[in-house]
C-alpha cells in the first residue's frame, strides 16, 4: 500500500488541528496548512504506515518490524541519567506535506532574535526555521552536489538513499549499530526518518567540510534521524552536523543513530554541535569502525536538553587504526549531560585518544562516562584519556565514570582527570582589566574549551563561542 | 582639574585580620610615588584594596577618584574609571589568547559605558596598535597569540603587565614589584619602558624594595609603610636612603609599628 498524503487522507493519519496542536511555541507550522502525523505511540501498524509512506523496499520494512520487537523486549538502561518517557505519548512520524513551505515572515520573532544573537549565517537561519527554497544556499547546494557527483560522491538524505542506492546502503546499514545494541538504537531502527547518507569512493578527498545544512529538504532533521557514512579506501572527509542554534522539536525525545565505516587508509572527521531545547531527552548512539591504518575522529559538542546520553565510539578493528574523540558538554539549570566516549582496541598497534571537557553551571550536572577497552591480541595498543571538568558555582555538579578493560599485556593506557572551579583570582584579574564579571567568566569558559573549539571549522567555532556567551549572560553575580 | 586619587584613613582586613591600619595618601596625575617597606607591611594590600579585590575588606576609611568614592565599585568599574595595577604574580588564564583578552579590555577601558555584546574596537586598528606597542617593548609578535600568562617566565609576565599598561593608558597605575625577579638588564628595560609609554603622564604608585625601577621613573614622593601605616614621607632622597641603608632608622623612630610582626 502506498499512501500519497497530498491527495486523499488515509486512515490512521490524522490531520493536526492547528489550534489545539500549536501549543509548542517553537512549532513553525503555519495555521493554514495541515501537517500529517501518524498517531501517537509505536506499534506494527505505525511501522507499516511509515514504510508505506516512504515507499520502501521490503527488506527495510522487515528491518523496522524486527527492530520494533527488539525495542519492546529491551529494558530501559539502568545507568546514566533518569529517563522518564511515556513511549505511548510520542508522535514517531511526521510527514511534512508538499505545500508546507514557510516563509521567513512566519518565523516567530523570538527565534529570529536568537539566530541574530548567535550570528548564524542567513542561509542556515532559514534552514533551521524550516524555511524552504529561494535563497542563496540553494545555489551553493546545487553546485556542491554537481562537484561531488563528478567525483562519485553520494551525499543525500537517508530516505532517498534507501530508494536510489539500495544495494550500497543495505550492505552497511545496521552493521555497526545493530538494533540489538540498545533500546534506543532499536527504537531508531524501527521508526527512523531522515539523516544523511554519504559514500566517498576510494582515494577521493573532500577538502572542505561537508555540512548537513547544505542538504536542504524537510526530512533532514528529524527526531529519529539515521546517518550512515562510508569512507572507502584512502578517502578523506570532514562532515559537520547540526549547529549551535537551539533546536526545537515538537516531541521530547530525540534518538538518532550514526554509523560510520572508515576503510583502509581513509580518514573521517565527524563534528557535531547541538543545542537542544530544555525539555528534550537526547539519547544518541554513534559508532565508527576504523579499518587498517584508518583514522576516525569525533568532535562532539552538547548543550541544552534535559538529559543527553551520548558516547561516540570508535572500534579500531584492524592494525594501525586510530580513533580520536573530543567531547564538550555544557550543562545548565535542570540539565544533565551524561556524555563521554568509547574506544575499543580490537587489533594490534591501534591508537586511541579521548579528550573530554565539561562545564556545569546554575545547578547543572555533567558526567563523563567513558570506556577504554583493549581486547586480547591488540598488542601495542596505545590509549590515552583526559577529562577535565569546570564547575562554575557550588550548586553544580560533575562526575567521572571511567571504565577501563584491558585484555592484553603489552599495551599503554593513560587516564587523567581534573575538576576545577572558576577561581576568584582569575575573575579578579580579568575584571581588573575592565571586563565585567560575565565577560570574564565567559572568557574563562571559552578558554577552557579552546583546545577543542580550535578543531572546529571557523564558523562553528565562532558560533560555539557566541553560544557560550549567551549561556553565560546573567548567570553570575 | 588634575585627576586625583585620594586614600583616606584606609583600614583593610583579610580574613578578619587587620593589615592596613589607617593609610592616608593622595596621588595627582603626573606624580610618581614610591611605596617602600619591609615584607608584610601592607604594600600589596594597599594596591589590591585600591583595585577592588573582593577578598580585601575595607573596614574603615575611603578611596576617592576625583572626589567620588570607589568602595561600591567592582574591579571592572574601577578599571574603566582609569585605575590599573600591574601584578607581582599575575594569574594565568589558559586558552585565552593575549590578543583577545587585550582587545576586550582595551575596548572596555576606552569606552567605559560599553555594554556586554556591543562591538569591540576594530580588529585592524587594534592589531596595528598592539604590534607597535609590542615592538616598543621588544616583544616577539608571537606573544600576542599565547595564552594569558600561561607558562610565561617571570620576565615575560612582567613585560605582559607593562604591555597591558601601555595599551590601557590608565589615569593611575599601581606597579607592584614590577622589578622583582628580573635581572639587571630586564629591570632596565622595564623601567625604561614605563617611562617610554607615558608613565610620567599617569599617576604612578610604584611598590618596590629597590630603587632600580625608580632610576627611570624618579619619584616625586617616597613613602615608607610599616605595619599598615605610612610612617614617613619624603622625596627621592628617602627612597635612596632606604635602598642603601635599609629600614633601621625608620624602625628606630617608629618602635611601636616596628615591634608588630
Could you report the per-residue pLDDT of A427-461, keeping only the tens digit for each? 999 999 999 998 999 999 999 998 888 877 776 77
Higher pLDDT, A470 or A450: A450
| pLDDT score, position A212 | 66
Model pLDDT for residues B67-120, shown as the tens digit of each residue: 999 999 999 999 999 999 999 999 999 999 999 999 999 999 999 888 877 888
Candidates B54, B104, B164; nearest CB to A439: B104
Q: How far is CA A67 from CA A183, A196, A230, B18, in A?
A: 9, 20, 22, 72
Q: How far is B61 from chain A (nearest CA, A)?
A: 22
Model pLDDT for residues A306-348, shown as the tens digit of each residue: 999 999 999 999 999 999 999 999 999 989 999 999 999 999 9
| pLDDT score, position A421 | 82
Model pLDDT for residues A179-201, shown as the tens digit of each residue: 999 999 999 999 998 888 999 99
Cβ contact (<8 Å) for B147 and A447? Answer: yes
Q: How far is A394 from chain B (nearest CA, A)?
A: 18
Residues 34-73 on B with a CB inside 8 Å of A are 51-55
Q: How far is CA A321 from CA A22, A77, A314, A405, in A?
A: 49, 30, 10, 19
Grade residue A101 by pLDDT with cuts at 50, 70 and 90: very low
| pLDDT score, position A15 | 36
Q: How far is B235 from chain A (nearest CA, A)?
A: 30
Best of A386, A433, A442, A453 to substitute, by most chain B Cβ atoms within 10 angstroms, is A433
Grade residue A116 by pLDDT with cuts at 50, 70 and 90: low
Mean model confidence pLDDT for chain B: 91
Q: Is the pLDDT of residue A240 over 80?
A: yes
Cell of residue A102, nine digits: 514557510
Residues 68-127 on B with a CB inside 8 Å of A are 74-76, 78-80, 84-85, 87, 90-91, 93-96, 100-101, 104-105, 108-109, 116-117
| pLDDT score, position A305 | 86
Cβ contact (<8 Å) for B79 and A448? Answer: no
Entry pTM? 0.76
Cell of residue B230, nine digits: 605610612
| pLDDT score, position A95 | 60
Q: Nearest residue of A to residue B115 by CA position?
A: A436
Best of B95, B98, B145, B172 to substitute, by most chain A Cβ atoms within 10 angstroms, is B95
Candidates B75, B85, B95; nearest CB to A450: B95
Cβ contact (<8 Å) for A429 and B53? Answer: no
Grade residue B247 by pLDDT with cuts at 50, 70 and 90: confident
| pLDDT score, position A27 | 31
Q: Is the pLDDT of residue A283 over 70?
A: yes
Grade residue B244 by pLDDT with cuts at 50, 70 and 90: confident
Q: How far is A433 from chain B (nearest CA, A)?
A: 5
Instruction: Compute CA B12 distance to the chain's CA centroid, rounded to the nearest angstrom.
Output: 18
Q: Is the pLDDT of residue A119 over 60?
A: no
Question: Residues of A near B (CB-CB distance < 8 A)?
Answer: 117, 423-426, 428-440, 443-444, 446-451, 469, 473
Q: Nearest residue of B to residue A441 by CA position?
A: B93
| pLDDT score, position A7 | 34
Q: How far is A447 from chain B (nearest CA, A)?
A: 4
Mean model confidence pLDDT for chain A: 80
Q: What percent of chain A has pLDDT over 90?
A: 50
Candidates B75, B104, B117; nearest CB to A432: B75
Model pLDDT for residues A212-221, shown as the tens digit of each residue: 654 333 333 4
Question: Can you tell me the distance from the alpha carbon of A416 to that of A385, in angstroms, rounded to the nearest whole number?
Answer: 6
Q: Is the pLDDT of residue B22 over 80?
A: yes
Question: Can you tell me the distance from the alpha carbon of A447 to that of A427, in angstroms, rounded to the nearest whole number?
Answer: 13
Higher pLDDT, A305 or A262: A262
Residues with Cβ within 8 Å of residue A199, at least 6 apart in sequence: A153, A154, A165, A168, A229, A230, A232
Residue A313 and residue A284 in contact, taking contact as beta carbons nearer than 8 Å: no
Count other C-beta atoms under 10 Å from residue A9's C-beta: 12
Question: Can you tell me the distance from the alpha carbon of B27 to that of B44, in angstroms, rounded to the nearest whole number?
Answer: 17
Task: For chain B, list the domains and their CATH numbers.
Answer: 4-259 (3.40.50.300)
Q: How far is B240 from chain A (nearest CA, A)?
A: 31
Q: Nearest residue of A to residue B52 by CA position?
A: A432
Model pLDDT for residues B109-160, shown as the tens digit of each residue: 999 888 877 888 999 999 999 999 999 888 899 999 999 999 998 889 999 9
| pLDDT score, position A248 | 52
B109 vs A contacts (CB less than 8 Å)? 433-434
| pLDDT score, position B200 | 76
Amino acid at each position: 500500500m502506498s499512501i500519497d498524503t497530498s491527495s486523499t487522507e488515509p486512515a490512521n493519519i490524522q490531520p493536526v488541528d492547528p489550534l489545539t496542536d500549536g501549543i509548542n511555541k517553537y512549532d513553525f507550522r503555519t495555521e493554514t496548512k495541515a501537517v500529517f502525523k501518524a498517531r501517537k505511540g509505536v506499534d506494527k501498524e505505525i511501522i507499516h504506515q511509515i514504510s508505506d509512506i516512504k515507499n520502501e523496499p521490503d527488506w527495510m520494512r522487515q528491518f523496522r518490524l524486527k527492530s520494533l520487537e527488539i525495542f519492546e523486549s529491551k529494558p530501559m538502561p539502568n545507568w546514566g541519567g533518569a529517563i522518564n518517557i511515556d513511549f505511548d505519548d510520542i508522535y514517531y512520524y511526521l510527514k511534512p506535506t508538499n505545500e508546507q513551505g514557510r516563509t521567513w515572515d512566519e518565523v516567530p520573532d523570538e527565534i529570529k532574535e536568537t539566530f541574530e544573537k548567535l550570528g548564524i549565517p542567513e542561509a542556515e537561519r532559514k534552514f533551521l526555521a524550516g524555511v524552504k527554497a529561494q535563497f542563496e544556499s540553494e545555489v551553493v547546494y546545487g553546485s556542491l552536489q554537481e562537484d561531488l557527483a563528478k567525483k562519485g560522491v553520494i551525499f543525500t538524505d537517508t530516505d532517498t538513499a534507501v530508494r536510489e542506492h539500495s544495494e550500497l546502503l543495505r550492505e552497511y546499514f545496521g552493521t555497526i549499530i545493530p538494533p540489538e545494541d540498545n533500546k534506543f538504537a532499536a527504537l531508531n531502527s524501527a521508526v527512523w526518518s531522515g539523516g544523511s547518507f554519504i559514500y566517498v569512493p576510494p582515494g577521493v578527498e573532500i577538502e572542505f567540510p561537508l555540512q548537513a545544512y547544505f542538504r536542504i529538504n524537510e526530512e533532514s532533521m528529524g527526531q529519529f534521524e539515521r546517518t550512515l557514512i562510508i569512507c572507502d579506501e584512502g578517502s578523506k572527509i570532514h562532515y559537520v552536523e547540526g549547529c549551535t542554534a537551539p533546536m526545537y522539536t515538537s516531541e521530547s525525545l530525540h534518538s538518532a543513530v550514526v554509523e560510520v565505516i572508515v576503510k583502509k587508509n581513509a580518514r573521517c572527521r565527524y563534528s557535531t554541535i547541538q543545542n537542544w531545547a530544555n525539555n528534550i531527552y537526547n539519547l544518541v548512539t554513534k559508532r565508527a569502525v576504523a579499518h587498517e591504518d584508518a583514522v576516525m575522529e569525533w568532535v562532539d559538542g552538547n548543550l541544552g536538553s534535559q538529559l543527553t546520553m551520548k558516547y561516540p565510539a570508535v572500534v579500531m578493528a584492524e592494525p594501525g587504526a586510530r580513533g580520536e574523540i573530543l567531547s564538550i558538554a555544557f550543562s545548565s539549570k535542570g540539565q544533565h549531560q551524561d556524555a563521554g566516549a568509547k574506544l575499543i582496541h580490537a587489533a594490534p598497534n591501534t591508537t586511541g585518544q579521548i579528550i573530554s571537557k565539561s562545564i556545569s553551571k546554575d545547578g547543572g550536572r555533567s558526567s563523563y562516562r567513558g570506556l577504554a577497552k583493549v581486547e586480547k591480541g591488540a598488542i601495542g595498543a596505545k590509549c590515552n584519556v583526559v577529562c577535565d571538568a569546570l564547575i562554575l558555582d557550588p550548586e553544580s555538579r560533575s562526575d567521572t565514570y571511567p571504565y577501563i578493560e584491558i585484555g592484553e599485556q603489552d599495551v599503554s593506557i593513560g587516564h587523567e582527570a581534573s575538576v576545577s572551579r572558576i577561581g576568584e583570582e582569575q575573575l579578579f584579574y580579568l575584571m581588573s582589566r575592565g571586563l565585567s564579571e560575565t565577560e570574564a567568566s565567559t572568557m574563562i569558559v571559552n578558554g577552557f574549551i579552546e583546545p577543542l573549539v580550535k578543531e572546529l571549522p571557523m564558523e562553528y567555532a565562532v558560533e560555539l563561542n557566541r553560544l557560550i556567551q549567551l549561556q553565560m549572560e546573567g548567570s553570575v553575580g | 582639574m588634575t585627576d586625583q586619587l585620594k586614600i583616606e584613613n584606609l583600614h583593610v582586613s583579610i580574613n578578619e585580620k587587620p593589615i592596613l591600619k589607617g593609610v592616608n595618601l593622595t596621588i595627582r596625575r603626573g606624580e610618581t610615588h614610591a611605596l617602600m617597606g619591609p615584607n608584610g607591611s601592607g604594600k600589596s594590600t594597599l594596591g589590591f584594596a585600591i583595585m577592588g579585590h573582593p577578598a580585601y575588606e575595607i573596614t574603615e576609611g575611603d578611596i576617592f577618584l576625583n572626589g567620588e568614592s570607589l568602595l561600591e565599585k567592582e574591579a571592572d568599574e574601577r578599571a574603566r574609571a582609569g585605575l590599573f595595577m600591574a601584578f607581582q604574580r599575575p594569574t594565568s588564564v589558559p586558552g585565552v589568547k593575549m590578543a583577545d583578552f587585550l582587545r576586550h579590555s582595551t575596548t572596555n577601558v576606552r569606552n567605559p559605558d560599553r555594554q556586554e555584546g556591543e562591538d569591540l574596537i576594530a580588529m585592524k586598528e587594534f592589531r596595528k596598535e598592539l604590534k607597535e606597542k609590542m615592538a616598543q617593548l621588544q616583544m616577539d609578535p608571537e606573544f600576542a597569540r599565547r595564552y594569558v600568562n600561561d607558562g610565561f617566565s617571570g620576565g615575560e609576565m612582567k613585560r605582559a603587565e607593562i604591555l597591558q599598561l601601555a595599551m590601557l593608558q590608565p589615569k593611575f597605575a599601581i606597579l607592584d614589584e614590577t622589578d622583582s625577579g628580573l635581572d639587571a638588564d630586564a629591570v632596565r628595560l622595564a623601567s625604561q619602558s614605563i617611562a617610554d609609554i607615558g608613565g610620567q603622564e599617569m599617576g604612578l604608585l610604584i611598590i618596590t624594595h629597590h630603587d632600580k625601577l625608580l632610576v627611570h621613573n624618579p619619584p616625586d614622593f617616597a613613602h615608607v609603610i610599616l605595619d599598615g601605616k605610612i610612617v614617613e614621607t619624603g622625596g627621592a632622597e628617602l627612597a635612596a636612603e632606604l635602598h642603601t641603608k635599609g629600614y633601621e632608622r625608620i624602625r628606630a623612630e617608629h618602635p611601636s609599628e616596628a615591634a608588630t610582626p
